[in-house]
Amino acid sequence: MVFAHAGKAFLCLCLCAFSVFFMSCESYEDPSHTLLEGYFHESEGLKQASNDSIRCFSEKVDAFTKCTPSAKNDPLYTKIQENIRGAMLQLQLNIEDDWGEDIYIHF
31, part of any domain: no
First-last CA distance in the chain? 84
- Which of 24, 4, 5 has its CA nearest to residue 16? 24
19, part of any domain: no
92, part of any domain: yes
CA 56 from chain center: how many Å?
16
By residue range, what is the domain housing residue 74?
Answer: 49-107
35, part of any domain: no
Residue 82's contacts (CB-CB under 8 Å, 6 or more residues apart) are none
Residues in the chain, overall count = 107
66, part of any domain: yes
Task: Supply the pTM of this predicted model.
Answer: 0.58
| Cα–Cα distance for residue pair 34/64, rounded to 1 Å | 12
8, part of any domain: no
Domains identified in the chain, total number = 1
Residue 39's contacts (CB-CB under 8 Å, 6 or more residues apart) are 60, 61, 64, 76, 80
Question: pLDDT of the chain along its 107 residues, tens only?
Answer: 444 555 666 655 555 555 555 544 444 456 777 889 999 999 999 888 888 898 999 999 999 999 999 999 999 999 999 999 988 876 555 566 666 566 555 54
